[in-house]
Amino acid sequence: MASSPNNPDGVPLTEKRRIAIANHLNQDHLEDMLACVKAQEGADWVEQVRIISLDTAGINLEVSGSERVHPLRLDFPVPVMGVLAFKRTLGTMITESRAKLGWE
């Protein structure tokens, strides 16, 4: 999934790739997503996060805690058109969120 001069954002975020990325995030990065929710949305009550879907503009989540379950959307600062752009954007959001919360 290397970038090229013609497509620095990487391969397009097709539906199949978006589903695979959502599954990967649900399996391996829930703490990172929790950090984004707590830091960016100020949702201190949230204890669990589940990725429902994602698109070029953001991620749709289901968040729960304190006997509540709510849908939540995390918007990207700018739309991401490819896999590499998605990875860069989400990586920055996670790094900034964890730093804001004081999480290592």
Confidence at residue 42, expressed as pLDDT on a 0 to 100 scale: 80
**pTM of the model as a whole:** 0.88
Every domain of the chain and the residues it spans: 15-96
DSSP conformation letters of the chain: ---BTTBTT-SB--HHHHHHHHHHHHHH-HHHHHHHHHHHH--TT--EEEEEEEETTEEEEEEEETTEEEEEEEE-SS---BHHHHHHHHHHHHHHHHHHHT--
pLDDT score, position 72: 95
Quick one: pLDDT at residue 3?
44
Superfamily of domain 15-96: PNP-oxidase-like (3.20.180.10)
What is the structure's pLDDT at 13?
A: 94
Residue 91's pLDDT is 97
Residues of the chain with pLDDT under 50: 1-4
